[in-house]
A = this chain, B = another copy of it.
Amino acid sequence: MGGDHGPGVTVPAALNFLREHPEAGVVLVGAAEVIEAELKVGNSDLSSRLRIQPASEVVEMHDPPAAALKNKKDSSMRVAINLVKRGEAQACVSAGNTGALMAISRFVLKMVPGVERPAIITLLPTLKGHTYMLDMGANVDCSAENLLQFAVMGSILVSSVEQIEKPRVGLLNVGEEEIKGNEVVKRAAELLKSSGLNFVGNVEGDDIFKGTAEVVVCDGFVGNVALKTSEGLAHMLATFLREEYGRNLITRIAGLISLPVINAFKHRVDPRRYNGASLLGLKGIVIKSHGSADAYSFQCALERALEEARSGMLNELGMRMQIMNPQPAGEV
């Protein structure tokens, strides 16, 4: 029940989600009385597929992850992840503090054996449809082996969720040629070539939105900068376009006439449709929603969770990691 807007957003999102997915159920975790008040505002004929799990604490956006992990054992975040751990929920969706969500998820759910680092994977629109990119900020320093594992995890997620047998995997670099890049990326390319993945080689920043690959792999520093730079550019362009249409009476009339076009355009690139980044590598499905998500946006994150839960992705990942990192005979 975190995020910037709390149950006022998450409860209506959950109700809409239940309406559109008759096979799904939702557990709302948090302050029971607040949630109940929101449920009364909304339509609660969905009560058979909806239950409230009380939690007395809230992880705040500014809480250091370690403190949230240690001191807030009855936070809505912790209780929700515990539900996943116990198998009472198939996924946890949170709009709260990313660092705390990652720390608590790692502590409670543990990592898939063989995965060294979890990664944050997000969906982005492209000229051809959409692509998945990781890591978006969980790991600011990565080894070539980490990048290889991100590629494997991303590939399994995409093949499971999108039913693409061999998703094209691109390594984000500063040029397409093999000699380009820093040492870590060059070595990662070597590992990827012999990985059995459908590695299409280096891709550049502009390839992300071209849709050159279904999985784009980078370290969390580069991924975070690329994502936030894109958000900043999109915001600037939208502001300029709005300013130009608002300049005078004639431009405002042109804007009115263009409204259907602009709305269709906005829908195609609406970042809310791409909300919901997955914390990959955990023994459970955890989806991070944007903190400022509105109800539509949070519903998209819930839908992402449903897709992943249905896809069997976690089993696939466990099996693949076992093949990549076989245990010594004595330890089996």
Residues of A participating in the B interface, judged by any CB pair closer than 8 Å: 125-127, 137, 140-141, 172, 174, 180-183, 185, 204-210, 218, 220-222, 224-237, 239-241, 244-245, 247, 250-251, 253-255, 257-258, 260-262, 264-265, 268-269
Contact B244 A264 (CB under 8 A): yes
Residues of B within 8 A of A227 (CB): 205
| Distance of A80 from chain B, by nearest CB (Å) | 24
Give the secondary structure class of A's interface: helix
Copies of this subunit: 2
14 other A-B residue contacts (CB within 8 Å) besides A174-B224, A240-B268, A251-B260? A125-B236, A127-B239, A174-B225, A205-B227, A205-B232, A206-B235, A218-B225, A225-B225, A229-B229, A233-B234, A240-B265, A244-B261, A255-B258, A257-B257
Q: Pick from A172, A174, A182 the residue with the most CB of B within 10 Å.
A: A174
Contact A141 B182 (CB under 8 A): yes
Residues of B within 8 A of A245 (CB): 258, 261
Within the complex, which residue of B140, B205, B239, B255 is in contact with A225, where a contact is CB–CB below 8 Å? Answer: B205
Contact B224 A209 (CB under 8 A): no
Q: Pick from A182, A183, A210 the residue with the most CB of B within 10 Å.
A: A182
Known: A140-B174, A218-B225. A231 touches B205 (CB 8 A): yes
A259 nearest in chain B by CB position: B254
Tell me the bound Cα distance from A180 to B231 in angstroms: 20
| Distance of A332 from chain B, by nearest CB (Å) | 37
- Show 27 A/B contacts (Cβ-Cβ < 8 Å), sorted by A: A127-B239, A137-B174, A140-B174, A174-B221, A185-B221, A205-B224, A205-B225, A205-B227, A205-B228, A205-B232, A206-B231, A206-B235, A208-B232, A208-B233, A209-B229, A209-B232, A222-B222, A229-B229, A229-B230, A236-B269, A237-B237, A240-B265, A247-B264, A253-B257, A254-B258, A254-B261, A255-B258
| Distance of A297 from chain B, by nearest CB (Å) | 17
Contact A181 B140 (CB under 8 A): yes
| Distance of A146 from chain B, by nearest CB (Å) | 13
Contact B228 A225 (CB under 8 A): no
The 9 closest A-B pairs by CB, nearest first: A205-B228, A206-B232, A205-B229, A209-B232, A209-B236, A174-B224, A140-B182, A205-B225, A226-B229
A251 nearest in chain B by CB position: B261
Residues of B within 8 A of A172 (CB): 225
| Distance of A29 from chain B, by nearest CB (Å) | 27
